[in-house]
Amino acid sequence: MKTPISLLIALLFACVPLAAAASDSIDDAGMIQRLAACAACHGERGEGAPGAEYYPHLAAKPAGYLFAQMQGFRDGRRHYPQMVYLMRNWDDAWLARIAVFYAEQELVPPTHAASAPLQGQALARARQLVHDGDPASGQPACAACHGPTLAGMEPGIPALAGLPTDYLIAQLGGWLTGARHSLAPDCMAEVVGHLRDGDIRLVSTYLSGLPVAAEDRPAPAESWPLPLACGGTGHFDPQTGVTP
């Protein structure tokens, strides 16, 4: 169930003035109060909201990744209207503070409805792309960047396992159509450009069905070499944000 736009707008107006008071001294209760608009779709601590089948969880994702996405909504690389409205007047220091708050939360295994499981050739193709890539087209595996368990890597590579299918389809489709952009060099645009027709749905369905446990947190930075140069995967400063 998607959150009514009227409720989101009301929450946004309620929370925007509070952001100006942000500082490192704000405790968890204060952050939860200031982030009530985020809770409507993502849960009080970013664990995911009940019935929100489209929206991703934020808890335990790398702070650098979360910062870059919020900055992207503010700066025009991402275009979801409610998020653009919320981020439009927030500075990097406050975005970094939000990112750190969610990154520090416990990972709660997702409870969204799973898509029908893949079978036969569809399953084999999805597994290949996720775990091995497609050498014939030069396509690196999802796991080559996001890790062998798809749990991501600090500071800027997110987990993929267990995200809602429709959310994954929308994001991969956004890179394919040019509606979504990452910090340069935009390695995801390059990766998605190698996919065949139908691959986005296969990969999204497969990733959505992978099990997620509370201990599946991102690996430490530089745990493995990346096959492509990717913006936003470098140092994250919790006071000022990411340096690509």
Sequence ranges of the domains in the chain: 5-103, 120-242
- For the chain, give the mean pLDDT: 88
* pLDDT at residue 110, rounded to an integer: 80
Intrachain domains 5-103 and 120-242 with the same fold = yes
* pLDDT > 90 fraction of the chain, expressed in percent and rounded: 75
CA angle 148, 154, 158 (to 5 degrees): 60
CATH level 2 (architecture), domain 120-242: Orthogonal Bundle (1.10)
Tell me the pLDDT tens digit for each residue of 158-186. Answer: 999 989 999 999 999 999 999 999 999 99
Q: Where are the alpha helices (DSSP H) in 20-134?
A: 28-34, 36-42, 63-75, 81-87, 92-103, 120-127
* pLDDT at residue 171, rounded to an integer: 95
Give the three-state DSSP class for 242: strand
Contact 37, 83 (CB under 8 A): no
Tell me the pLDDT tens digit for each residue of 57-82. Answer: 999 999 999 999 999 999 999 999 99
Distance between CA atoms of residues 136 and 113, nearest Å: 34
Rounded mean pLDDT, 173-200? 94
Contact 203, 142 (CB under 8 A): yes
User: Is CATH 1.10.760.10 the classification given to domain 5-103?
Assistant: yes
This prediction's pTM: 0.87
What number of CA atoms fall less than 13 Å from residue 170's CA on the CB side? Answer: 12
